[in-house]
């Protein structure tokens, strides 16, 4: 969908997209990692001792749309996940979660992955 330069926000994104506003620095977030194409910040309602959201700067509603638009963007997203996990000391293990769609409890329709760690994870998760 977007052919913009890396590091910019897709201008066709909804004007009320919370994560686009974080990328644009219009609203504050506890940003812990940034690349030209990704941004990582702490979740405001953490579900684990470490709970970070990693997002592409390009607006896409979910990871499926992101992959269809730019498979490279999905790779870059996971590279950022790995960097965040290392930075946060999660070598013993962590969980990466995509909630895709309303039935999966996706609340912000901008692709993002939850990185959860710092405690033992159980299965099934939900």
Assess whether 33 carries a catalytic annotation.
Answer: no
Query: Which among 24, 28, 30 has a CA at the least distance from the CA of 7?
Result: 24
Question: Edge-to-edge strands of the sheet including 50-56?
Answer: 31-34, 38-42, 50-56, 113-117, 94-97
Q: Which residue is catalytic, options 59, 110, 112, 114?
A: 112
**H or E element in which residue 54 lies:** strand 50-56
CA 33 to each of CA 1, 74, 83, 91, 126: distance values in angstroms, whole numbers, following the listed order: 25, 16, 8, 17, 28
Q: Active-site positions?
A: 112
């Amino acid at each position: 969908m977007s052919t913009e330069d890396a590091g910019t926000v897709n201008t066709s994104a909804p004007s009320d997209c919370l994560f686009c506003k974080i990328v644009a620095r219009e609203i504050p977030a506890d940003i812990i990692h940034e690349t030209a194409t990704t941004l990582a910040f702490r979740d405001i309602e953490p579900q684990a001792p470490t709970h970070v959201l990693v997002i592409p700067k390009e607006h896409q509603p979910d990871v499926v749309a992101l992959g269809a638009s730019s498979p490279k963007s999905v790779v870059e997203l996971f590279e950022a996940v790995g960097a965040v996990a290392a930075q946060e000391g999660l070598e013993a293990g962590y969980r990466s979660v995509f909630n895709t769609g309303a039935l999966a409890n996706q609340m912000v329709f901008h692709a993002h992955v939850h990185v959860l760690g710092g405690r033992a994870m159980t299965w099934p998760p939900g």
